[in-house]
Structure 1
Amino acid sequence: MHDWKSELDALVAETMAFAKSLKVEIERPRPPPKEAVDRGSLSVADYGGSERDEIRKRVESFKAHQERFMREREEYADSLLRRIRPIT
Structure 2
Amino acid sequence: MKWIRERDALIAQTLAFVQSVTGRKDDVLQPGVPSDSPAATVEIVAIETVTVEVGPPQPPSRAQPVQPAPARAGSDFRSEMQARIANFRKHQERFEREREEYCAATLTKLRAAIRDGSPRPPAEN
TM-score (normalizing by structure 1): 0.48
TM-score (normalizing by structure 2): 0.35
If asked which structure has higher relative contact order (CA below 8 Å, sep 6+), I would say 2
